[in-house]
Amino acid sequence: MSHPEVDDQMDLRGTPCPLNFVRTKLRLQKMPPGALLEVWLDPGEPIEQVPDSLRMAGYEIEQIIDQGDFFALKIRRPASEWAEC
């Protein structure tokens, strides 16, 4: 099976925590339900914290890809609105 196409992409390399989480969540909230967002994050605290924070907020992490000097995180906005509460 091929990797799903992303609907939008953000490069947040160099963006500190928690600002990278906030920007990711705001972008996801503007996307239609079921849309897929790819976010590029630095190693260390960003890739350790952002996926867990997004899961706790109700978003589905579909894939984390180690690109060597950064990570590509693919997040699906839920089809239901419960994650927006």
18-77 confidence digits (pLDDT tens): 999 999 999 999 999 999 999 999 999 999 999 999 999 999 999 999 999 999 999 999
Is 13 within the bounds of a domain?
A: yes
Q: Which domain holds residue 36?
A: 8-79
**Residue 81, CA distances (Å) to 24, 25, 45 in order:** 17, 14, 29
The DSSP secondary-structure symbol of 81 reads G
pLDDT tens for each residue of 2-25? 456 999 999 999 999 999 999 999
Residue 49 falls within a domain, yes or no?
A: yes
Domain contains 2: no
CATH of the domain at 13: 3.30.110.40
What does the alpha-carbon distance between residue 69 and residue 60 come to, in Å, rounded to a whole number?
Answer: 24
pTM across the whole model: 0.88
pLDDT band at 84 (very low <50, low <70, confident <90, very high): very low
- Would residue 20 count as lying in a domain? yes
For CA atoms 42, 44, 48, 53, the dihedral sign is negative
* Residue 85 belongs to some domain of the structure: no
Q: How many domains does the chain have?
A: 1
Q: Which residues contact 34 (CB under 8 A, 6 or more apart)?
A: 76, 77, 78, 79
